[in-house]
Amino acid sequence: MILKARFPKIFASVFTALVLILYMPGLVGLRANGTFSNVQALWHDFLFKVNRDNLRPADPRLILLAVDDETVAKYGFPLPRIAYARALDKMKALGVDTVMFDVMFFEKREGDAELTASTKRFGKVVHLFAFTEGEAKAKPSLPIPELRKATRYFGSPNVDYLASADGHLRTFQLFRPGIDDPLRGKPPTVSFAAAALSAAQNVPIDDLIQQYGEDERVVNYRRPEDWKRHPGDKSPQATIDVSPYRRISALDLLDGTLAADQRAALKGAIVIVGSTTLGYYDKFPMAFGDAPGAEFHLHAIDNTLHGDAMRSPYRAWTLLLIIAAVLLTYWLQRLPTAYGAGLAGASFLSWVAYAQWAFRRGTIAEFVPPAFAFVASYLVLVAHRALTEGAEKKQITRQFGQFVSPDVVEDLIHDPSKAQLVPEKRELTIFFLDIAHFTTISEKMDAEALVQFLNKYLSGLSDVVFEHHGTIDKFIGDCIMAFWNAPLRNKDHRAEAILAALGCQRAIAELNKNLDKGLPEVPAARIGISSGPATVGFVGTQRKLQYTVIGDEVNLASRLEGANKFFGSKIIVSESTWEGAKDRVVARFLGSVRVVGKETPIRIFEPLAEKSKLSADWAKALPQYEKGLKAFEKRKFKDALKSFEHFLEIFPDDGPARLYRDRSRDYAAIEPDESWDGVFNLTAK
């Protein structure tokens, strides 16, 4: 008992020392290979990705002239040097300021004279020399003598030495110390970006060295944009490059087919000429994926021109934060469980928020070491506390752990009074999901493959239910039954269930991206949701208890799931569910139906999206659908037919609209009698 009482203090002391020891190797240099460096690097990239839309746009003066697949298809690879010469002359005529050739002109070839002449005519042309990385005594490769005489701007494109342990490029260096520049005959070595800055700004290299020094800087990646590569190519797939920097195809420059905006952009631009041909360019992992090395050089120039490279904090602060993080968890575990957990979550989120705030102000905080110290120590101390607490909490874990999300179990453990262990009647939202075409798919699979397929889909869809605080009642073959508002009360249970349904549709679309091509059908999800009073509790025998829900709403939700087959819809919810969610979700009215076992018609709806996420097409099409529905209900079937046909021009495969279009056409030809009330009688379950 004495050891248990002292454990938190002993653990906090030992663990603090351990984390500090693990952190020490990461104290020196921006790319130090410390214990936390790889994870910190992932966090570094994550910050750029999550802030993608808020990143600074690229300087429009920086352009990549891409020797792409189309250029190579016409002119061959490597591109003839006379083609590069022509490109230089055309760029000069268009008013380009500086040209960087990310191309190796190290061996004599046909067209050298033309390239040399065009280099002289242009003037501000940067050529490269290169080192063989890892071979300290290897001589650098230099441009052919003619080019060395034709220009004074040369730089090294070598960036491999800047790569982090995971191979990503996150830092740049204008001048590489300790290595002689082969053309200047002394250190530091001039980078490709520094040579371009010298040319573009008409500033001597020595002045740039004095201004920027040999410091390594953290790249501030620019916001990626979509760029059309070939203005005349109307195909929707092959004409877009995603890059921060405008890409212009060398083919369009050489053939004189540049668009007006491309010609305007080239005036006064700094252009880097480089290959993007598949298999023939240097790829480097960056924040948004692999990109040509030429793009990295543009980032270095861009950051330097605007003086906004990212900053790294003083690392002594990280040491203090690690100590503070462990001390904070030691204090939190002494508080009441729910209160301590709330403060722990708030503390961690505050650290996340600070890291985000600092990032947006140009500093990448060392988020991972303090976060690891906080989370790991808190989890250990909470686990120790949980293991020493009563059997009631263990019982809750056993009873609820299989069908609610881990955060719900944690909530129940910290406050067992929330766990209603005796049956009770309360307002619930019931959810049925069925995988369409499952019978056809199962007939084509052996037993093992079928189970793997089913587990994959049910796991992915169940995760969505858990994310929206739902409780899994049971799996019935390929069907998921779930409910909301028990065991924990949730005033937004109707909206959460609908959002889970929309999330399941997105999840199954993602799962279908890796679909076995041999499957006879593409899996789809049909979902039915209803809300109302039902009984929830443990049902079964002493040996086998199931936390489940019983009531008429269960049957209705199941019928609504099946009603999707009739309407050609994906999700159907009852009016009682829709009324509690309409402030957060956009839906359309499908009609009134009589389901099997019910005489009274009910109004049903199909959710489309969260209000803030409704697509432009739906925003345009929905009024046509609603107009058609109103006309249909007023027996103006010709007007309804026109509206639904307009709607189907936007969504030609929409099931409900096709159903109403066909009914409108039929009723326009032979009008229903006066007993027709517009209610659909569904005879199938």
DSSP symbols for 394-428: HHHHHHHTTTB-HHHHHHHHH-GGG---S-EEEEE
Burial label for 187, CB within 10 Å (0-12, 13-18, 19+), is: middle
Beta strands 125-128; 153-155: pairing state: parallel
Helix intervals (H) in 123-233: 145-150, 192-201, 205-212
Place of tokens 């948004």: 288
Contact 106, 141 (CB under 8 A): yes
Q: How many Cβ atoms from other residues are within 10 Å of residue 306's Cβ?
A: 12
What's the CA gap between 600 and 1, in Å, rounded? 65
How far apart CA 526 and CA 382 sit, in angstroms, is 41
Beta carbons within 8 Å of 411's beta carbon, 6+ residues apart: 418, 488
Question: Which residues belong to CATH 3.30.70.1230 in the chain?
Answer: 420-613
pLDDT tens digits, one per residue of 467-507: 999 988 898 888 999 999 988 889 999 999 999 999 999 99
Quick check: 102 and 273 in contact, CB under 8 A?
Answer: yes
472 neighbors 482 (Cβ within 8 angstroms): yes
What does the block give as tokens for 161? 């030495």
Q: What is the pLDDT of residue 2?
A: 40
In the chain, which stretches have pLDDT less than 50? 1-4, 28, 136
Report d(CA 231, CA 252) in Å as an integer.
Answer: 8
The strand pair at 189-190 and 240-243 is best described as: unpaired
Strand segments, DSSP code E, in 33-124 are: 62-67, 98-101
What's the 3-state SS for 12-36? HHHHHHHHHHHHHHHCCCCCCCCCC
Q: In this structure, which CATH number among 3.20.20.70, 3.30.70.240, 3.30.70.1230, 3.30.1360.200 belongs to the domain 420-613? A: 3.30.70.1230
The pair of three-digit structure tokens given for residue 628, joined into one six-digit string? 């058609």
| Bridge partner residues of 481 (DSSP) | 432, 474
Q: What is the largest CA-CA distance in the chain?
A: 99
Token representation of residue 466: 């858990």
* 147/99 Cα distance (integer angstroms): 14
pLDDT tens column, 518-566: 777 889 999 999 999 999 887 766 666 677 899 999 999 999 999 999 9
Beta bridge partners of 128: 155
Residues 189/181, Cβ–Cβ less than 8 Å: yes
Q: What's the pLDDT score for residue 504?
A: 96
HEC string of 250-308 equals HHHHHHCCCCHHHHHHHCCCEEEEEECCCCCCCEEEECCEEEEHHHHHHHHHHHHHHCC
